[in-house]
Amino acid sequence: MIWCIEDDNNIREIEVYTLNNTGFTAEGFCDGKSLWAALEKEIPELILLDIMLPDDDGIEILKRLKEDDRTCNIPVIMATAKGEEYDKIRGLDLGADDYLAKPFGMMEMVSRVKAVLRRYKPDEERESIIRFENLCLNIKEHRVYIEDIPVDFTHKEFEILRLFLNNRGRVFSREKLFYLVWGEDYIGESRTVDMHIKTLRKKLGKYGDYIKTVRSVGYRMEKQK
Amino acid sequence: MIWCIEDDNNIREIEVYTLNNTGFTAEGFCDGKSLWAALEKEIPELILLDIMLPDDDGIEILKRLKEDDRTCNIPVIMATAKGEEYDKIRGLDLGADDYLAKPFGMMEMVSRVKAVLRRYKPDEERESIIRFENLCLNIKEHRVYIEDIPVDFTHKEFEILRLFLNNRGRVFSREKLFYLVWGEDYIGESRTVDMHIKTLRKKLGKYGDYIKTVRSVGYRMEKQK
DNA sequence: TTCTGATTTTACACTTCTGTAATAACCTGT
DNA sequence: ACAGGTTATTACAGAAGTGTAAAATCAGAA
């Protein structure tokens, strides 16, 4: 989620529109007040912040963002109104992650956003979360979030789920599944898999229904409903 | 407390006046002599230092400040009299934290002061103290405060806690943890890590409960309750 | 050196997870 | 509806993993 703080309606709308059409989710705010209100509920991934704003100006907003532990890690791109201000603002070094001098093209904006996000989120972190709708398997935390609520999974459950999520739509025979989760040299009953599937389905709640039984073949996790 | 060293009475007074009206506490000194006298008793947060002064000139003062352990960490903003001097002074790189070319507006002065303080404090204070609710790990003091009460931690305990606090929510396998804290490879059967986790949990009191065991994986410190 | 406190190891109790078997429920084609 | 095959569910014993006390060892200060 990317937030654009910009008082000019035209500019803000085109920013939001462009971002929403480039694979991001964006939302616009016209002033500091609405930004602070929204921050109570959600923390965006990145903020695109105009310097000239009606109430707090952008610099004050940036300052406040950087002061609060909850918000100080949100990357910020500052947009300056005039070319002249550019160097001055940069010189101040208020902790913005990048700067855009107006007027800027939308493609430039997008590539700056991408660059900042790339810098911010190390690959390993992005790759360590597997998502499926609102089901998140966080490998670093070794934890599953179901509708944002953390749920503890045992190691085996976790591994089976990981296998399913990494191979959505694919059927796994009990043998194959055993081989992949338990390891090549493990010998056990194929009924054991049924057992784990059962607990997995239970813990997954509504997402449990996505694990389908493929009669006389094995199990599959559906790609979609 | 910000100190302004400036021989011109008008300028000095307006600087002090402005700072006192922008949320700072400021005091003025007209020469090096009075500065050194005052430094005997107090260390300011920041010094705004004019280059042209009657006795010692600003450059000499800056050098002396940087030589003494007691004063070398005070951030200094240099004010240059003439535009031409600006680059020259910067080029010398005597360790000033920022530069102001006269004539400068008071608003510019204030934002430079703020910027320098912000840049300074994070490094020195914010980053040397890791907080988690009312649990503070003070790296400089190598000490932990639990609900503001200092508690002695052994080195290993301290390092494990630091690792956890710097990576909240993340699971560490015993191997990884051992490698990161001990710097050696972990020997499989050893209960050493468990042992330290036990004492850590105990010493942390109620915060000990945030250290969760992730069965067959390792340990994790929860992000929240 | 001796002493002290930190660290590691050991051994075992304890907890939690997992595999299995037995049984119930289910599906599918006749 | 029934038979035959497949899957779901349950309960529990055993395995695996963890917590803890106490003893042994180590390292640095006096």
Q: Which domains does chain B have, with CATH numbers?
A: 2-124 (3.40.50.2300), 129-221 (1.10.10.10)
* CA A138/CA A141 separation, integer angstroms: 5
A126 vs A157, more confident:
A157
Q: Which long-range contacts (CB under 8 A, 24 or more apart) does B56-65 make?
A: B56/B31, B56/B32, B58/B5, B59/B89, B59/B92, B59/B94, B60/B32, B61/B5, B61/B32, B61/B35, B62/B94, B62/B95, B62/B96, B63/B94
Please name the residue that has the structure tokens 């010398």. Answer: B92
C1' (C30) to CA (B218) span, angstroms = 55
Q: How far is CA A38 from CA A11, A17, A29, A218, in A?
A: 20, 19, 9, 46
Res A4 pLDDT > 90: yes
Q: A interface mutation test: which of B217, B224, B225 has the most A CBs within 10 A?
A: B217
Q: Do A141 and B112 touch (CB under 8 A)?
A: no
Res A210 pLDDT > 50: yes
Angle among Cα B8, B10, B14 to the nearest 5 degrees reads 120
Nearest-Cα residue of chain B relative to residue A72:
B122
> What is the DSSP secondary-structure string of A107-151?
HHHHHHHHHHHHHHS-HHHHHTEEEETTEEEETTTTEEEETTEEE
pLDDT of residue A123: 46
* Cβ atoms B132, B165 nearer than 8 A: yes
Band (A225; pLDDT cuts 50, 70, 90): low
Contact, B185 CB vs strand C, < 7 Å:
no
Residues of A in contact with B217 (CB under 8 A): 142, 155
Element (H, E) at A94: none
Weakest-pLDDT range from A38-42, A174-178, A210-214, B82-86: B82-86
Q: Note the residue count of chain A.
A: 225
Nearest-Cα residue of chain A relative to residue B169:
A141
Contact, A217 CB vs strand D, < 7 Å:
yes
* Neighbouring-strand partners of residue B78: B49, B99
Q: Which of B12, B17, B90, B87 is nearest to B53 (CA)?
A: B12
Res A145 pLDDT > 80: yes
* CA B60/CA B51 separation, integer angstroms: 9
% of chain B exceeding 90 in pLDDT: 24
Weakest-pLDDT range from B11-20, B96-105, B186-195: B96-105
Tell me which nucleotides of strand D come within 7 A of a protein CB: 5-11, 16-22
Q: Do B220 and A142 touch (CB under 8 A)?
A: yes
Residues of B in contact with A154 (CB under 8 A): 215-216
Model pTM score: 0.55
Band (B153; pLDDT cuts 50, 70, 90): very high
Please give the mean pLDDT across all residues of chain A: 82
Q: How far is A155 from chain B (nearest CA, A)?
A: 7
C1' (C25) to CA (A213) span, angstroms = 15
